[in-house]
Amino acid sequence: MEKVILAKTGLEVSRLAFGGAPLGDEYGATAEGEALATVQAAFDAGINIFDTSPYYGRGLSEKRLGEALKGPLRAGRDKIIIATKGGVLIDP
């Protein structure tokens, strides 16, 4: 996977990012194991920037990404960049 420097941050990121909406069941239900395996496959393919949002499944995407980082991806955590949205207020 080709890597680039992210603007002035100095962070080296994959040219392709992983979009986390499907982890939050935004396009249909995704089994927990399938979601975690997909995150792992993306990392194994060289993707190191993961974009998520509290909007995706009302936090489900962020929860699943967190589970992957605590479990299978723990060893590679220092190489992963997480992008999310800020300033979002979700009123249940």
Q: What is the bridge-based pairing of β-strands 18-19 and 11-14?
A: unpaired
Q: What is the bridge-based pairing of β-strands 3-6 and 11-14?
A: antiparallel
Specify whether 27 is catalytic. no
In degrees rounded to 5, what are phi and psi of residue 87? 75, 20
CA distance 17 to 51: 7
Catalytic residue among 18, 43, 50, 56: 56
Side-chain-side CA neighbours of 16 within 13 Å: the count stands at: 8
Supply the residues annotated as catalytic: 56
